[in-house]
């Protein structure tokens, strides 16, 4: 894998001629969405309403990497969560299009931005971002998250496979989502004052509904996924 990838969201508002376009460019070595900000607003400072679980050092990282990548969403023209939009997502050799609410469209896009932001707690989601699936359902997300997690354990080394036979690896996955839940809470507080509309905040809220309920959903949805894999008799 030596080629970069671009994922472009084009969100057109039904009640106006406004179009919001945002491209997430990923390099295969880092899988991060590069951003260059010359004059970052105050709410991007690392110490501004800093997440309690943030491991970054202000000496080397004066700004929150996730906050920097949310600037275009905070400063965009005000819109309402339930505004009808036509969302077109272009990536690789395919285009996915859906008529939906502004909240759902921006939730899908911001989830991609968060995963590739450079925040240490979101690095787990980088491989999922490379194989981005817009508007994934709950079952699809459970499948992708668990598969991504187990595959990452497989690549950690030969000892990981033996270890997985004697421990509940999904407890670690639940912990990852607990950390993301804290990120969602604090990043909402960080941008609340400066957001011109409520769509960005509510997009994060929509993401966090699933994040906060992940542990419970995992227990229920794994039973469904077990049935699906039970049909594979190859």
Q: Give the residue from 59, 58, 43, 177 showing the smallest Cα distance to 111.
A: 177
CA distance 99 to 14: 9
Tell me the average pLDDT across 70-85: 90
Model confidence at 165: pLDDT above 50: no
Residue 226 confidence class, pLDDT cut points 50, 70, 90: low
For residue 230, give Cα distances in angstroms to 34, 140, 164, 170, 222.
41, 17, 21, 20, 12
Q: Give the residue from 107, 144, 132, 166 showing the smallest Cα distance to 218.
A: 144
Q: Scanning the structure block, which residue is given the tokens 């509510």?
A: 202
For residue 133, give Cα distances in angstroms to 18, 61, 70, 83, 117.
25, 30, 20, 22, 17
Residue 232 confidence class, pLDDT cut points 50, 70, 90: very low
End-to-end CA distance of the chain: 29
Model confidence at 2: pLDDT above 80: no
Model confidence at 166: pLDDT above 50: no
pLDDT tens digits, residue range 3-51? Answer: 889 999 999 998 888 999 999 999 888 889 988 888 999 999 999 999 9
pLDDT tens digits, residue range 86-141? Answer: 999 999 989 999 999 999 999 999 999 999 999 999 999 998 999 899 999 999 99
What average pLDDT is seen over the chain? 87
Per-residue tokens: 194: 């400066």
In the prediction, which pLDDT does 225 show? 64
Model confidence at 158: pLDDT above 90: no
Phi and psi (nearest 5°) for 34?
-65, 140
Q: To the nearest whole percent, how much of the chain has pLDDT over 90?
A: 60
Q: Where are the beta strands (DSSP E) in 130-184?
A: none
Per residue in 99-135, is it b (16+ CB within 10 Å) or e — as a string?
A: ebbbbbbbbbbbbbbbbbbbbebbbbbbbbbeebbbe
Model confidence at 62: pLDDT above 50: yes
Strand-pairing partners, residue 22, are: 9
3-state DSSP assignment of residue 53: coil
Tell me the average pLDDT across 177-187: 94
In the prediction, which pLDDT does 99 show? 97
Q: Give the residue from 187, 221, 179 showing the smallest Cα distance to 203.
A: 187
In the prediction, which pLDDT does 135 show? 94
């Amino acid at each position: 894998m030596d080629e970069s990838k671009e994922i472009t969201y084009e969100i057109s508002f039904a009640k106006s001629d406004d179009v919001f376009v945002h491209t997430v460019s990923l390099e295969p070595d880092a899988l991060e969405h590069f951003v260059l900000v010359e004059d970052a607003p105050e709410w991007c400072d690392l110490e501004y309403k800093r997440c309690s679980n943030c491991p970054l050092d202000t000496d080397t990282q004066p700004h929150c990497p996730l906050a920097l990548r949310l600037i275009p969403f905070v400063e965009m023209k005000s819109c309402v969560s339930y505004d009808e939009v036509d969302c077109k997502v272009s990536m690789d050799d395919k285009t996915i299009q859906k008529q939906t609410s502004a909240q759902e469209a921006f939730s899908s896009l911001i989830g991609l931005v968060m995963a590739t932001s450079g925040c240490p707690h979101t690095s787990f989601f980088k491989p999922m971002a490379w194989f981005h699936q817009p508007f994934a359902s709950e079952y699809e997300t459970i499948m992708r998250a668990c598969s991504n997690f187990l595959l990452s354990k497989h690549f950690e080394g030969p000892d990981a496979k033996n270890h997985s036979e004697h421990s509940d690896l999904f407890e670690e996955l639940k912990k990852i989502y607990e950390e993301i839940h804290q990120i969602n809470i604090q990043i909402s507080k960080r941008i609340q004052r400066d957001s011109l509309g409520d769509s960005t905040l509510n997009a994060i809220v929509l993401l966090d509904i699933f994040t906060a309920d992940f542990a419970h959903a995992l227990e229920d949805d794994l039973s469904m996924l077990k049935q699906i894999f039970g049909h594979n008799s190859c």
